[in-house]
Chains A and B, each alone.
Chain A
Amino acid sequence: MKQTVKLFARAKDLAGTDALEVELAPAARVVDLRSGLAKVCPSLNILLPSLLIAVNNEYASDDSRLPENAEVACFPPVSGG
């Protein structure tokens, strides 16, 4: 399945786009999405370990399954202030 991933903040800046498409096997998990992002956009690598992933507006851990037609959004945690 093709999964669209919305990118925010520095993830958007590094990727140079506000959304990426990642090809995933059926019943893929968030960890597969993370490695898929690394393949389609290696410039995200520096952020990937700490990137927060929300699936349908819920925090998703690496072992969560991705439902079909999910809305997926990625945010790097931010530290300025």
Chain B
Amino acid sequence: MALDPALERYSRQILFREIGEAGQRKICGSRVLLCGCGALGSVLADGLTRAGVGFLRIVDRDFVELSNLQRQVLFDEADVAEGLPKAVAAGRKLARINSQVQLEPLVADIHSQNILGFADGVDLIVDGMDNFETRFLINDTSLATGTPWIYGGCIGSHGQTMTIFPGETACLRCLIEAPPGAGAAETCDTAGILAPVINVIASLQIVAALKILSGHRDQIDPALTIVDVWDGTLRKMNTRNLRDQGRCPACVGGVREWLAGTRGSQTTVLCGRNAVQVSPAERAPVSLSDLADKLRGVGEVAVNPFLLRLTVNSGEFIITVFPDGRAIIKGTQEPAVARGLYARYVGS
């Protein structure tokens, strides 16, 4: 029987036995929220658009920069020259790739007050974020709305991914009680990142998404998959029994601290100073000398026992970090920009 002309472009995917025409129709009828459109996000957005999801909402707070192009495959030098927001640049490219997909690119900082709106009416949330804080917020949102989500994170040559079915499998908080304190986690801007690990992790996330959206969620193992592309290793850590231990305050206890806004970083615009103060979610002492070591390749660093000062983008931003993890970001009055810089250089 001839294929429906509207599905012709997906013929090779339909030939794959597990998808078939019925699975493709489900994918074409699905609605997906992509949080973050940097490195993971651009591979995810490209894959989901080509695979033919019905609707893709892309939320990102950042702008395209030259140092993104090494791994953020949707963007090019023209986007840098235009100074385009990533969501906008991604939306333009994706519309040329597959006009059948309804795209909704949104330039926004995801926080506890707006995430339920972004997640409204979607079948799946896919993680392309660059910080733990937003991931804990996505986790709470998934639990509150019953929407599955697919975690993915990368650093250096290493990456991890896990699919969360709220109320059924272990959630992010079952696995990690709290995000590492400020400065304890490395970021792509301090430790670097190899593009291939992004492609591997995002590809595994896309496979999980296709299983869920085509009606094969039972074929997803409850496990954290751990990849190192430099070592050439792929391991799975089984999480089948983790939720049953019944200790998770979020998925078993029903506590939604991140979504309620009682846990999370706080920003304060410092009027008249062109600066924003960021107070991290986890109040833990920061070793300024260790942080200075991490940041020396990033920009100009000055450190004394009371504060660390990092100057980036030829003086456009001055980030002053205090030993309690708090930072004052000078050069912006936008909380979203300040939170983005904090996530990149201090880590959140």
Contacts and interface: CB of A to CB of B under 8 A. Distances in A.
Interface of A: 8-10, 13, 46-47, 49-50, 52, 54, 57-59, 61, 73, 75-81
Nearest to A10: B186
B184 A46 contact: yes
B132 A77 contact: yes
B97 interface: no
Interface in B57-71: none
Contacts of B41: 81
Nearest to B188: A80
A76 B185 contact: yes
Nearest to B156: A9
29 contacts: A8-B228, A9-B156, A10-B155, A46-B180, A46-B287, A49-B178, A50-B179, A52-B224, A52-B237, A59-B241, A59-B242, A73-B235, A75-B160, A75-B226, A76-B185, A77-B153, A77-B176, A78-B154, A78-B158, A78-B185, A79-B135, A79-B153, A79-B185, A79-B187, A79-B347, A80-B130, A80-B155, A80-B187, A81-B153
Interface string B148-164: 00001111101110000
Q: Secondary structure at chain B's binding surface: helix, strand, loop or mixed? A: mixed
A81 B152 contact: yes
Interface string B167-208: 000100001111110001111100101000010010000000
Most buried by B among A46, A57, A59, A61: A59
Contacts of A59: 170, 175, 224, 237-239, 241-242
Interface in B119-170: 127-132, 135, 152-156, 158-160, 170
Nearest to A18: B231
Contacts of A10: 155-156, 186, 191
Interface of B: 36, 38-41, 127-132, 135, 152-156, 158-160, 170, 175-180, 184-188, 191, 193, 198, 201, 224, 226, 228, 235-239, 241-242, 245, 247, 287, 290, 347
A58 B238 contact: yes
Given A8-B158, A79-B135, A80-B155, 4 more contacts: A75-B224, A76-B185, A77-B176, A79-B347
B156 A79 contact: no
Nearest to B238: A58
Contacts of A79: 129-132, 135, 153, 155, 179, 185, 187, 347
A5 to B, nearest CB: 14
A54 B237 contact: yes
Contacts of A78: 153-155, 158-160, 185-186
B237 A58 contact: yes
A80 B242 CA distance: 24
A81 B179 contact: no
Given A77-B153, A79-B155, A81-B38, A46 B290 contact: yes
Contacts of B239: 59
A31 to B, nearest CB: 13
A81 B39 contact: yes
Contacts of A76: 180, 185
